[in-house]
Structure 1
Amino acid sequence: MSNERLLWIENYLMEKYKMPSLENFLQLEIVKIDEGKVNYRAKIIDKHCNLYGVVHGGVLASIIDTVMGIACISLGKRVVTTDMSVSYIKNVAEGSTITAVGQVISNGKTIMRTVGQVFDEQQQILINSQGSYFVIGDFCEEDYPKK
């Protein structure tokens, strides 16, 4: 895939994230998009936290699902999650900045497999994940968000 195509995908995502969406709620910021691998960053805010004052596991699961899915999109495929496992290792509190990395490890015609990790500011691992995504078509310019 060309750098031009990756730049188009990044611009698409930045426009999409301006609209009301889960990614907007999560306040995800694109750090880098390569073919089959993406890096995102997010600042943990009060709305992301559970009653103990740490980030809710569902928020972390949503973030890792997003970055693993975008890793698939970076290869030009439209996908939906078929399964995902998440191992929670450590937690962080409000105010922390986390980094999420998703990578395609198998680029099949109908099923794509991915791995993902989320890290805190000290690069300590918060979660490990793996996921499978069903390919429902090509991700193309017709997918560009309508305002």
Structure 2
Amino acid sequence: MSKQEPLFVDSSELPGFHNLLGYRQVSWEQNEAVIEVELQPRHLNLGGVIHGGVLTSLLDIALAQAGTYCPYPGRMRKAITLSLTTTFTGQCSSGTIRVTGRRRAGGTRIFNSTGEVHDEKGNLLAIAEGTFRIRSGSEKPEGVPI
């Protein structure tokens, strides 16, 4: 199968929580996904630094995407999170953060991913490991219609 360029969707075009987070897709390929967020006041906690819940949510998205790449325009693959462990290693309050998820292992339904969040200076802000289950209908690369 020849590699096709995926259609990247800005989260502002997605409903609900994805829209609220305000991330953009930087890259997405088999076994790896990268998203970025330009920090806004809504992403910060009461101490003025990025909220741990925002970091965890972004890691959850990138790690799930790492195992659900779909090269077919107008289609997608879906997964649900079975477990997610996040470790916070740094703080920032402005600039753009980059979240990278990588699929590490798994079968046709269950997979494991790891990920990292870095600020624009390259400082590590958080790491995560997650286990995900492919939703019914999303097992094959062509996934389901959006």
One of 35, 38, 45 as aligned partner of 1:40: 35
The 3 A distance-change label for structure 1 pair 25 and 131 is same
1:142: Cα distance to partner? 3.7
Q: 1:135 to 1:141 in 2, by over 3 A?
A: closer
Structure 1 pair 14–60 and aligned structure 2 pair: CA distance change class (3 A): same
Structure 2 residue 24 is the aligned partner of structure 1 residue 25 = no
What pairs with 1:44-123 in structure 2 (closer than 5 Å)? Answer: 44-74=39-69, 77-93=77-93, 95-123=94-122
**Maintained 8 Å contact 2:77/2:144:** no
Q: What's the CA shift for 1:27? A: 1.1
Q: Deviation at 1:107?
A: 3.0
The CA RMSD measured in Å over matched residues stands at 2.0
Alignment of 1:10-21 (within 5 A): 10-11=6-7, 14=9, 17-21=12-16
Which TM-score applies when normalising by structure 1?
Answer: 0.84
Residue in 2 that maps onto 1:129:
128
Deviations 1:94-116 (A, max 9, x none): x3210000000013122100000
Distance, in Å, in 2 between the alignment partners of 1:141 and 1:135 is 10
- How many aligned positions are there? 138
Determine the C-alpha separation between the residues in 2 that align with 1:2 and 1:98: 32
Instruction: For structure 2, list consecutive stretches of 5 or more residues without a partner in the other structure.
Output: 71-75
SS at match of 1:14: coil
Q: TM-score, normalised by structure 2?
A: 0.85
Deviations along 1:81-101, one digit per CA (max 9) or x if unpaired, are: 0001000000110x3210000
Higher helix share: 1
